[in-house]
């Protein structure tokens, strides 16, 4: 009896463990091929190279593929097409990011002359009635009908932004989004559509690590907290957003790129031919014409040895040796040997 209970308990643990196991998908293109396929972290194909035009999987488990006679469609990791209640639709193109797929369970779709949102069941969950829409990011999207702006949440509910004279609302980050007035001034509002920092700046960034940059009317830049108070006084000419993990921002001081921490301290790194922004705690650097990665202590954790690198995403980074791409982890260990003509970021499915 006790033996049977023990065996049953072990089976339950194994089943639960497998159900919580994370699934990773990487888009790759083999050498001497024009077709893309998808592999897992073990380097095994889950979908063989067969797609001339396709995109990375989203965390929601679908990838966009395009065929001339069929247009856009979505496939899951088994290659099965998502059955949609609408057949004639277009997807949103975002400059620098390509065609946008699912995020937070929704994808923007253009049906006739209106934009709406389709969910992962293939249903039009938010009616296609908007003139403009954004993709979802950090739990929210922005939609517009003529001069009216709406905030849409992950439940598909819309909320009218009752703030006059708005021209644009950007992404939400830490629950706050920059907005621009018709006079060209910037401020911030919350997810309820309420102004939390009045529009009085020539430009602003996104909140990360509790701070966002803002440019004054004399064109100097400092960093504000969510109450609109200066934490780092305006003094810089060129800045970037803070990285939420390292709490460091890449800025320019006296024509030199350096780092700034949330205490306002300047940090220089001279052991690299250039410095870059941090992603998942690591930044790309270059030394003796080779690329590697360093941490927030400005120590090389992966020595410069590569001819090309992408930023870390979900714990892994694509790197190139000669003309072949592979994949490494944060310790610099090979996860996928360099055998591909191209490799995209690692996606962790929900």
What is the 3-state secondary structure of 220-285? CEEEECCCCCEEEEEEECECCCCCCCCCEEEEEECCEEEEEECCCCEECCCCCCCCCCEECCEEEE
- Asked if residue 248 is part of any domain, the answer here is yes
Count how many residues are written for the chain: 350
**Dihedral sign, CA of 192, 134, 284, 56?**
positive
CATH number for the domain spanning 223: value is 2.40.10
Q: How many CB atoms lie within 10 A of CB 243?
A: 20
HSE value, Cβ hemisphere, 13 Å, CA-based, for 34: 2
Neighbouring residues of 20: CB distance < 8 A, sequence distance ≥ 6: none
- Asked if residue 215 is part of any domain, the answer here is yes
Distance of CA 318 to the CA centre of its chain: 16
pLDDT at 179: 98
- Asked if residue 221 is part of any domain, the answer here is yes
- Asked if residue 90 is part of any domain, the answer here is no
pLDDT at 8: 45
pLDDT at 97: 61
- Asked if residue 244 is part of any domain, the answer here is yes
HSE value, Cβ hemisphere, 13 Å, CA-based, for 196: 18
- Asked if residue 290 is part of any domain, the answer here is no
pLDDT at 235: 96
Please list the pLDDT of the chain residue by residue as tens digits (350 residues): 444 544 444 444 444 444 446 799 999 999 999 999 999 999 999 999 999 999 999 999 999 998 888 888 999 999 999 999 988 889 988 766 678 899 999 999 999 999 999 999 999 999 999 999 999 999 999 999 999 999 999 898 999 999 999 999 999 999 999 999 999 999 999 999 999 999 999 999 999 999 999 999 998 999 999 999 999 999 999 999 999 999 999 999 988 999 999 999 999 999 999 999 999 999 999 999 999 999 999 999 999 999 999 999 999 999 999 999 999 999 999 999 999 999 999 999 98
- Asked if residue 322 is part of any domain, the answer here is no
Indicate the number of domains in the chain: 1
pLDDT at 21: 60
pLDDT at 4: 52
Residue 254 lies in domain:
185-268
CA distance to 21, 163, 187, 189, per residue, from 166 (Å): 45, 7, 10, 11
């Amino acid at each position: 009896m006790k033996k049977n209970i023990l065996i049953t308990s072990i089976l339950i643990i194994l089943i639960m463990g497998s159900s919580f196991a994370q699934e990773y998908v990487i888009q790759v293109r083999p050498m001497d091929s024009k077709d893309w396929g998808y592999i897992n972290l073990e380097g095994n194909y889950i979908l063989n190279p067969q797609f001339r035009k396709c995109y990375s999987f989203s965390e929601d488990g679908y990838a966009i593929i395009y065929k001339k006679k069929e247009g856009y469609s979505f496939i899951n990791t088994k290659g099965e097409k998502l059955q949609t209640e609408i057949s004639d639709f277009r997807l949103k193109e975002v400059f620098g990011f390509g065609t946008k797929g699912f995020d937070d369970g929704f994808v923007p779709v253009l049906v006739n002359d209106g934009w709406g949102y389709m969910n992962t069941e293939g249903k039009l969950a938010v009616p296609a009635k908007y003139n403009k829409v954004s993709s979802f990011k950090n739990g929210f999207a922005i939609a517009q009908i003529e001069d009216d702006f709406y905030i849409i949440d992950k439940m598909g509910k819309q909320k009218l932004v009752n703030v006059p004279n708005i021209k644009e609302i950007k992404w939400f980050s830490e629950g706050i989004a920059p907005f621009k007035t018709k006079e060209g001034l910037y401020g911030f509002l919350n997810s309820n559509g309420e102004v939390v920092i009045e529009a009085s700046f020539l430009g602003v960034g996104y909140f990360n690590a509790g701070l966002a940059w803002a440019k004054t009317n004399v064109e100097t830049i400092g960093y504000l907290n969510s109450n609109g108070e200066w934490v780092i006084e305006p003094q810089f000419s060129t800045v970037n957003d803070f990285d939420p993990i390292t709490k460091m921002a890449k800025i320019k001081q006296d024509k030199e790129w350096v780092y700034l921490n949330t205490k306002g301290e300047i940090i220089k790194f001279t052991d690299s031919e250039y410095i870059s922004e941090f992603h998942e705690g690591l930044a790309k650097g270059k030394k003796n014409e080779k690329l590697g990665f360093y941490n927030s202590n400005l120590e090389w954790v992966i020595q410069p040895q590569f001819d090309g690198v992408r930023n870390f995403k979900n714990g892994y980074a694509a790197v190139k040796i000669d003309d072949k791409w592979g994949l490494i982890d944060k310790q610099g260990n090979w996860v996928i040997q360099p055998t591909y003509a191209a490799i995209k970021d690692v996606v962790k499915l929900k």
